[in-house]
Structure 1
């Protein structure tokens, strides 16, 4: 990965990666279809439908009644209204989750992410074949970052923001301008926008209904990563249901599903907290972002960053190196503040 500061200072990140370690890039239209096909092959019944509402059980062991529109895949089809009785519900229906609304899960602050898939000339695509770029600066986002990510035979160019959503297209233009020489001659083949949760919902469980992924608000600050945490939370929740139902021989209860939440929070809360602090400290101004990129050139910072990122846990550090890092961080922030004060006088 290449980190690029507001003044276009570029730092290559990845020198500490082992041969088997890498940042995976996916195309959701490919990944999602693969996951559906794999679930079907494992015995799941796949339904092309849209969840509309659910009727809550009248007593402890009664089923939930799911209402949805089932589609046959033909263009213009309005769908057939269908109901289904189920023992438990896992809401994995994204940031605008209807399942979350049905259990009054509460709202969360969210970022809007906007990206353009761009088909660039083959010689320019060669540059991005094994490289992701991350741009920081007030021009591309006041509180997030801009990116150019490889997507097999094209790139995704995008940005995001929480605080200035109406200006997202202005930030997108700035991101394209920052990368303009490297994507020159490109043709936009798809435009995408999506809300990104900024923190977990106030309520993620109600009786036998649990939320996972974006529906639960499981996206990390600073990096905006959500795919891994969506898949992992879905798996952990399903495992809790299998264990609690004793492989389908007893009805699961809220206490069974709560074990998933307890395990999730214990495993991942430190990661979310650290990234939240990093975003608040280093994404607040251009001088702070310059300091952030400067720090990323340090080999120890890169090792700690990738060990934490790749294995989704806050990596234990070396006390002496941590002390050096703290001193260097303070020094970088002092220089950043001095620069900001100088700029304010101009």
Structure 2
């Protein structure tokens, strides 16, 4: 605890698995150690060995208090309301691709669901139904945020599949317009409205970066051989 008393650490890399990140957060008299990966099929033993090897000097002599793990869906689940039960937060799949953010959407979806129940039940006077939950909660949520999740899903599919694609994303983000749109979208948690002409230029610049980085990556691979 002396090392982590006033320190939190974050690690991102691909030496343990293709898309891996880990964190250590101090919590009162102990630390919370977390890891995440977006691998489809993962060799658990190799994964655990890699983690232990990386942190063995820092956790030597430590006591494990609790171990837990579960997959987190990064897209809204197809069924989020059944009968009088509604899913919110991580359970509903409200974790964004690319950034992995989920705290805001967990709190926001819980509040929207609660407010929808209050409206449908007229302050608790009537029993709500599945249709009430779909109308007052689900439709309102999708209207506000489903386009954001779809865009981030597309972004991850395009840019996170290879190192060349990630390099292209870095190149695209050199644009001041892209930076401003990204900041506004992240700040307000929904896609920012941009300029059509600038959007068109951004699309062409993206295609150019993808082609250029793919060619460079192929040339570098041939050079290494």
Q: Same fold (TM over 0.5)?
A: yes
> CA separation of 1:118/1:330 partners in 2, compared to 1, >3 Å: closer, same or farther?
farther
Q: In the alignment, which residue of structure 2 is the partner of 1:287?
A: 164
Q: In the alignment, which residue of structure 1 is the partner of 2:21?
A: 146
Q: In the alignment, which residue of structure 1 is the partner of 2:185?
A: 308
Superposed CA RMSD: 3.4
Q: Distance in 2 between matches of 1:118 and 1:342?
A: 48
Q: Distance in 2 between matches of 1:118 and 1:321?
A: 51
Deviations 1:101-147 (A, max 9, x none): xxxxxxxxxxxxxxxx994596xx5xx7xxx9674x643543x4536
User: Would you say the 8 A contact 2:164–2:214 is kept in 1?
Assistant: yes
Q: Which has the higher helix share?
A: 2
Deviations 1:164-185 (A, max 9, x none): 43354467579x69xxxxxxx8
Query: SS at the partner of 1:146?
Result: strand
Q: In the alignment, which residue of structure 1 is the partner of 2:39?
A: 162
Deviations 1:244-302 (A, max 9, x none): 11111111122211121001111111110110011101111111112222333332222
> CA separation of 1:119/1:299 partners in 2, compared to 1, >3 Å: closer, same or farther?
farther
Q: In the alignment, which residue of structure 2 is the partner of 1:276?
A: 153
Alignment of 1:216-227 (within 5 A): 216-227=92-103
Please give the TM-score of this superposition, normalised by the length of structure 1. Answer: 0.52
1:255 equivalenced with 2:131 (yes/no): yes
- Tell me by how many angstroms 1:208 deviates: 1.2
Deviations 1:293-341 (A, max 9, x none): 2333332222211211121110111223223322321222112211232
1:212 equivalenced with 2:88 (yes/no): yes
Alignment of 1:1-346 (within 5 A): 119-120=3-4, 125=7, 135=12, 138-139=14-15, 141-142=17-18, 144-146=19-21, 158-165=35-42, 166=44, 168-169=47-48, 172=51, 193-259=69-135, 260-345=137-222, 346=225
Please give the TM-score of this superposition, normalised by the length of structure 2. Answer: 0.77
Deviations 1:148-167 (A, max 9, x none): 68769989674412324335
Query: SS at the partner of 1:234?
Result: helix
